[in-house]
Amino acid sequence: MNKGKLFVISGPSGAGKSTVIGRLIKQINNVYFSVSATTREPRRGEREGKDYFFVSRECFEKMIKENKLLEYAQYVGNYYGTPAEAVDKKLNEGFDVVLDIETKGAAQVMERRPDAIGIFLFPGSYEILRQRLMLRSTESPESIEKRMQQAYVECSKAEMYKYIIINDRVETAVDEVIAIITAEK
Ligand code: 5GP
């Protein structure tokens, strides 16, 4: 059986990554979304084991020590990381695996797995990004400001990715990601 392919999707918080990934896994078969571990508090509506594994700092640091993470990074005061075992298991079973991770973690993945395919999702504009973060209503004004600052840093790393998509219309962005996955396979 052929091994699956690893896709790394990044883009600033509020660029629509979760929406795009949520739709694409419903539209194409054989794709597994890698559920990350994080120390951040769950947002309203987020589910354990589906959106994230919500863990304590202590637990996260244990995973780092035990080498259980394919990559990890700190983002706006919290740890985020990709559990390695599930990713490898799914790839070996022939599934394509999609990671939704920020740029520091993406750089680690691309170094460790040079065959990983990077896709960067831009928001239509920084103004749209700010509006999306505000509309979320789960983010404090302080968190919105920090996420906006991170957005400028992250967008400056977009050249590290093989593909760049501008998400000014979600349906088009989903179609474009599906086209990339199909072409890469
Ligand atoms: P949020 O708090 O909005 O869910 O995520 C914040 C940022 O962390 C997003 O850019 C998201 O892509 C990133 N992220 C989520 N999971 C991981 C992970 O496992 N590793 C890394 N490096 N970043 C992650």
CA of 172 from ligand 1 middle (Å) equals 23
The whole-model pTM stands at: 0.95
CA of 58 from ligand 1 middle (Å) equals 19
- Give per-residue burial for 143-158: e unless 16+ CB within 10 Å, then b: bbebbbebbeebbebb
Examine the pLDDT at 14 and tell me if it is beyond 90.
no
Within the chain, how many helices (H) and strands (E) appear?
A: 7, 9
* Banded model confidence at residue 135, pLDDT cuts 50, 70, 90: confident
CA of 179 from ligand 1 middle (Å) equals 24
Burial class (CB in 10 A: 0-12, 13-18, 19+), 29: exposed
* Banded model confidence at residue 1, pLDDT cuts 50, 70, 90: low
d(CA 163, CA 144): 27
As a whole number, mean pLDDT of residues 115-125 equals 95
